[in-house]
Structure 1
């Protein structure tokens, strides 16, 4: 019945499957089994959309009441229980899959074995409501004031270049010397790279775009393949430098770090579980080094 309600809420079997994190065929089979059990048609299907039958409309009204009561009950139990129970769907930037944030999530999972976590790692911005997530972890600076949010920390960044590529170029004395260098660009970031010098000087570099990608992992890979300069999260820059594949450029100059935020709806279905998860991540960030640098009291 819960899957049936999610199909109605999402408007299609495919959208419901995406929100639930299961195969569309499983969603369709589940609704068909419910219809067979009840002996009625709940949904009229066409190639473009679905529509509720009269029976489906009656059941949907009851099911939504049931789900609200169930979620409220779970929230109340979690508020009283020493052992939280439930499920959370969380989206996280793909470049943080091997970061200290993911380590903190693993610790949360070990600490609370009755909480089921479904994690979606993607560098594409995921829609909190339409994609059915309980919590989004976002890197950057927030522009959506309609959601609840908490800052978990900041991710330091570094300006790097493939070591072999750097060996073919005269050593740059100033960031502006990089204007005629090749660059590997990240599609979701400005083409300009802005740096602050040790004396407060500001520099803005455009460079020559050789390759553009929409994945930070791909950014790292192509920089290591000596296709040009780029900006990487600190943990990836450090990895490439340790392996001798990347060289840092202007380590005395500073790039603006990325803010790391947890974002969730102000009417979260699993309010207590969501807050428990977010508070754990915020607390864990105090004790960790890059890429998560804590920001203020938590």
Structure 2
């Protein structure tokens, strides 16, 4: 077994969460995989894994090895793909991480068409609204909206959008509609906690753009929960338009302060580690999402 095969086997153990799970569908038994790791650790002279009866965990050296192994295998795959591009179609396992709102509103609805076009690609979809470390979480692609924070990643913009301020008719009937931005200080505004920039709502004024710090009785870590709270009449929200487009069209939510609201661009980004963006399955996925769900 060559070094690249050892790397692939080691990554399979980590991605599957253990030797028994990694052995399923593999020609290697759990015992053989365990011995492979022992030989690898002996050759490197470091411990890569800590083992208990229930779980395995990476050491600091193991985390470094995993990150480098992923990069090396990605470059090998990309090199082979460029040489054999005309002979086949993308295949392999793809790990994607994205926010819950984008997944449910834009990504999941197009997955049947994606699998119809690419039947040899399998997908592990992780949903979270927290910021993730792409390499640490083992993701191949991270889809995120808004400003980028990590410039070391390869980023491709797959969609443009904007934010909208809105509330349910029931809330407005009870509390009245804000006529000017400063009226929001007397209203219940629901925001995502942990993202201070999303509590500073921008508005146009005679002197330029000013921000208003809003607050209310509720915060949440889910953009979809934010929308659902607004739909029940709990308060006013400011979210990406794609999340509330249908509700506004149906009259279940009403846009507010459109003459004052300075709605900045809210791009949707596909983020990959350097070198991996050329992998056929990753490139195929990003191209497909950009074409089908990038509105």
TM-score normalised per structure 1: 0.72
How many residue pairs get aligned? The number is 264
Structure 1 pair 86–246 and aligned structure 2 pair: CA distance change class (3 A): same
- Distance in 2 (CA, whole Å) between partners of 1:89 and 1:38 is 22
State yes or no: 1:118 paired with 2:124. yes
Structure 1 pair 72–261 and aligned structure 2 pair: CA distance change class (3 A): closer
- Secondary structure of 2:189's aligned partner: strand
Q: Which residue of 2 aligns with 1:204?
A: 211
- Secondary structure of 1:155's aligned partner: coil
State yes or no: 1:34 paired with 2:26. no
| Match runs of 1:132-171 below 5 Å | 132-171=138-177
Structure 1 pair 240–188 and aligned structure 2 pair: CA distance change class (3 A): farther
Instruction: Give the C-alpha shift of residue 147 in structure 1.
Output: 1.3
- Distance in 2 (CA, whole Å) between partners of 1:87 and 1:38 is 20
- Distance in 2 (CA, whole Å) between partners of 1:259 and 1:269 is 19
Q: Assess if the C-alpha contact under 8 Å between 1:3 and 1:27 holds in 2.
A: no
Q: Assess if the C-alpha contact under 8 Å between 2:75 and 2:276 holds in 1.
A: no
Q: Assess if the C-alpha contact under 8 Å between 1:241 and 1:247 holds in 2.
A: yes
Instruction: Give the C-alpha shift of residue 137 in structure 1.
Output: 0.9
Q: Which runs of 5+ in 1 are unaligned?
A: 8-12, 53-59, 294-298
Q: Which residue of 2 aligns with 1:271?
A: 279
Q: Which runs of 5+ in 2 are unaligned?
A: 1-5, 39-49, 60-65
Q: Which residue of 1 aligns with 2:242?
A: 235
State yes or no: 1:5 paired with 2:13. no
Q: Which residue of 2 aligns with 1:217?
A: 224
- Distance in 2 (CA, whole Å) between partners of 1:262 and 1:201 is 32
Instruction: Give the C-alpha shift of residue 87 in structure 1.
Output: 1.9
Instruction: Give the C-alpha shift of residue 221 in structure 1.
Output: 1.3
Which of 235, 246, 249 pairs up with 2:253?
Answer: 246
Instruction: Give the C-alpha shift of residue 220 in structure 1.
Output: 0.9
Instruction: Give the C-alpha shift of residue 215 in structure 1.
Output: 0.4
| Match runs of 1:252-267 below 5 Å | 252=259, 253-267=261-275
Structure 1 pair 178–28 and aligned structure 2 pair: CA distance change class (3 A): same
Bigger shift: 66-75 or 170-179?
66-75
- Distance in 2 (CA, whole Å) between partners of 1:251 and 1:39 is 61
Query: What are the Cα deviations for residues 68-112 of structure 1, in whole angstroms up to 9, with x where unaligned?
Result: 797467635762334222221111211112334444554332211
Query: What are the Cα deviations for residues 152-205 of structure 1, in whole angstroms up to 9, with x where unaligned?
Result: 1222221011321111223322111111111111124322111347x8953422
Q: Which has the higher helix share?
A: 2
- Distance in 2 (CA, whole Å) between partners of 1:201 and 1:67 is 50
Structure 1 pair 221–70 and aligned structure 2 pair: CA distance change class (3 A): same
Q: Assess if the C-alpha contact under 8 Å between 2:23 and 2:33 holds in 1.
A: no
Structure 1 pair 39–27 and aligned structure 2 pair: CA distance change class (3 A): closer
Q: Which residue of 1 aligns with 2:98?
A: 92
Instruction: Give the C-alpha shift of residue 232 in structure 1.
Output: 2.1
Instruction: Give the C-alpha shift of residue 6 in structure 1.
Output: 2.1
- Secondary structure of 2:134's aligned partner: coil
